[in-house]
Structure 1
Amino acid sequence: MTAQLHRSGLLLAAAGAILFSAKAILAKFQYRYGLDSLDVLTLRMLFAMPLFLLLGLRERMRGPGPRLSARERWVLLGIGLLGYYLSSLLDFWGLEYVPVSLERLILFLNPTFVLLIGLLFLGHTVSRLQWIAVAVSYAGIALVLAENLRVEGQHVLFGSALVLGAALSYALYLVGSGELVRRLGTARMVVIAMSISTAAICLHYLLVRDPARLLDWPAAAYGWALANAFFCTFLPVTFTMSAVRRVGPGIAAQLSVIGPVSLIFLGAWLLDEVITPLQILGTAVVLSAVWLLTRPRATPTQKPAGDRSAGG
């Protein structure tokens, strides 16, 4: 590996982490125009889907993918619904109640959920260092949550529970997608999962809303939706896939800590969110603990190739 290739991989991983995280800020901007989480997510998926279909076409031109069994198709459907439909829906709903810095920090607990799922259901072992890292990460979250309750109010509890559900849903997606990622490749896997989730969110919208509502927003709301779809959905996925090919999933996962750190300051700058010393301390505690869990030698739990911090 050349030094230039390695540097480009680091830059792509860092850029992907920041852009993934920034989707929360763009969603907050859209909420100011009267949209809610379902509106924001539906527009995001509709605008992003053509880009992922082009990515899928490129992969198709490289050759046909493997033939999947009926069981594998059902698994693919299930994890598609978990990873980019349920997780994203809970995440955007939670963003109506919590600051962006807390949202991203809770989502960053994905590795701890993956670890615990592996322990409880897959027969994986957990080292003493990993148990310590899990305990420390949740202690850090408790510290940040308590401070946000003091600053923001009781609604933070409900929003945090929703985002925690999003993190758990995405962890189940990560655990379930391991074998399929090896069979299909990261790009094909992402395209198929996005297609399933887009169909699901559109059906959800049609069942509970008049679709004409999607045509009745100010132009600025659509501009933010397009930016969310391109800069905070499609680009981060492609950046992260490229980074994994250059530096490996372990280093890419470690660089994802940049996402929560960036949101602390971006949220304060762009959304006037409050930053307190306790929030910064709790964030540092969580990031340090999760960093221990994402080190390649520290994690025996299956880690599928691709992004591990998107969280919706």
Structure 2
Amino acid sequence: MQNSKTFIYGVLLGILGIVLFSSKAVMVKLVYKYNIDAISVLLLRMLFSFPFYIGVLIYQSKRDTVIQVTKKDYLWVVLFGIVGYYLASYFDFMGLIYIKASLERIILFVYPTIVLVLNKVFFKKSISFLQCAAILLTYLGIVFAFWDEVAISGFETYIGGAFILLSAITYASYLVGSGWLIPKFGVVKFTTYAMLVSCLCVFIHYGFATQTSLYGYPWQVYFIGFLIAIVATVIPSYLVSLSIKMIDSSNFAIIAGIGPISTIILAAIFLGEILTLMQLFGALLVIVGILFVSVKKK
């Protein structure tokens, strides 16, 4: 009975975490209506989340790591923090300037297929025939959704799609490369280090790239920036980690399929975005393909 309750709670926490994660793209699109650029929005996200991660780091520093950590390991953390959170987030925010939030989520959702390909190229891990078929199905869904959007929105769709694909590639690279470091630091400490590196990168980027002040925007900009940082970043990251611990990663991979669906629903409610039938069909192909890849991978 206790195990059954734990599983149900784990599923509910996972669903909540996924929905909160999915709300990020919608919030970013909402804040863009106030004529703010991508790096400024990203800076707000990091400014609000930075104190939280500092607090987690102080708390985690009191715990000793089981495996000895070297200076070289910390250098790798810096690299993966730059690639996995700074670059992936920046490309994502740039892409959202040009394309719908719902389409962004569909493209970003393909990162597990990129993980498989990178593991094949760099670590010679095999990809089964069924996994190859699932990958092809996933990208066929992208073509369906993307092609129809190009006909509606024009050339800017290519620009936005390219940025989102770069985001998926950089995040997948982070997942592939950082796997051997996580056992050394622990999930929470490693994620915290990587996020702090990302914050510092954004601070430097903002300092060099823009002359505009972060002050003077309507209060809604700062409120949405706070929500992006806490509600759509910090809280769901720990909800997802807890859910995976309670129900295991294979079961979580199945419920992760609600991510694009929740983004489509939220985008329709708050942004008035409506996907065409072809785009919905493409989204369905992507979800089925990724679920199959994820379950088979486990």
Q: What's the counterpart of residue 251 of structure 2?
A: 251
- How do 1:157-306 residues align onto structure 2 when only pairs under 5 Å count? 157-210=158-211, 213-295=213-295, 298-299=296-297
Which amino acid in structure 1 is aligned with residue 6 of structure 2? L
Instruction: Give the superposition deviation at 1:67.
Output: 3.9
Residue 81 of structure 1: CA displacement? 0.4
Partner Cα distance (1:82, 1:94) in 2:
17
Between 1:212-221 and 1:172-181, the stretch displaced more is: 212-221
- Identity within the alignment, %: 31
* Post-superposition CA distance 1:63-82 (Å, at most 9, x none): 45754223322211111101
The C-alpha deviation readout for 1:199-244, integer Å capped at 9, x for no partner, is 011001111123x611221111000001111100001111011111
Within-5 A mapping of 1:34-183? 34-63=35-64, 66-183=67-184
Cα distance, 1:265 vs. partner? 1.7
Shift of 1:14: 1.0
Distance 2:179 2:56 in 1: 20
What secondary structure sits across from 1:96 in the alignment? coil
Letter of the structure 2 residue corresponding to residue 108 of structure 1: F
Contact 1:75 1:176 in 2 (8 A): no
Kept after mapping to 1: 8 A contact 2:114/2:172? yes
Aligned-pair distance for 1:59? 2.2
TM-superposed CA distance for 1:150, in Å, is 1.8
**Cα distance in 1, alignment partners of residues 11 and 152 from structure 2:** 35
**Alpha-carbon distance in 2 for matches of 1:190, 1:65:** 17
Q: Structure 1, unaligned stretches of length 5 or more?
A: 301-312
Name the SS for the 1:97 alignment partner. coil
Q: CA shift at 1:161, angstroms?
A: 0.4
Q: Secondary structure at the match of 2:214?
A: helix
Structure 1 CA distance for aligned equivalents of residues 97 and 256 of structure 2: 24
Is 1:33 the counterpart of 2:34 in the alignment? yes
User: Which residue pairs with 1:306 in the alignment?
Assistant: none
Deviations 1:31-57 (A, max 9, x none): 111111111111101101111222223
- Which range moved further: 261-270 or 131-140? 261-270
SS of structure 1 residue aligned to 2:48: helix
TM score, norm. by length of structure 2: 0.96
TM-score after normalising by structure 1: 0.92
Q: What is the letter of the counterpart of residue 261 of structure 2?
A: V
**In structure 2, distance between residues paired with 1:168 and 1:266:** 25
How far residue 60 of structure 1 moved from its aligned partner, in angstroms, is 2.6
The CA distance in 1 between the partners of 2:275 and 2:163, in whole Å, is 22
**CA distance 1:25–1:112, shift in 2 (3 Å):** same
Give ranges in structure 2 of 5+ residues lacking alignment: none
For residues 227 and 187 of structure 1, the distance between their equivalents in structure 2, rounded to whole angstroms, comes to 21
Equivalent residues of 2:68, 2:184 under 8 A apart: no
Q: 1:33 touches 1:221 (CA, 8 Å); kept in 2?
A: yes
Q: Distance between the aligned counterparts of 1:90 and 1:65, measured in 2? A: 35
Q: Which runs of 4+ in 1 moved over 3 A?
A: 61-67
User: Which secondary structure state, in structure 1, belongs to the residue aligned with residue 274 of structure 2?
Assistant: coil
Instruction: Verify the 8 A CA contact 2:108 2:164 in the aligned structure 1.
Output: yes
Does the 8 A contact of 2:65 with 2:184 survive in 1?
Answer: no
1:188 deviates by: 0.5
How many Å separate the matches in 2 of 1:215 and 1:171? 35
**Counterpart of 1:221 in structure 2: which amino acid?**
V
* Aligned residue identity for 2:286: V
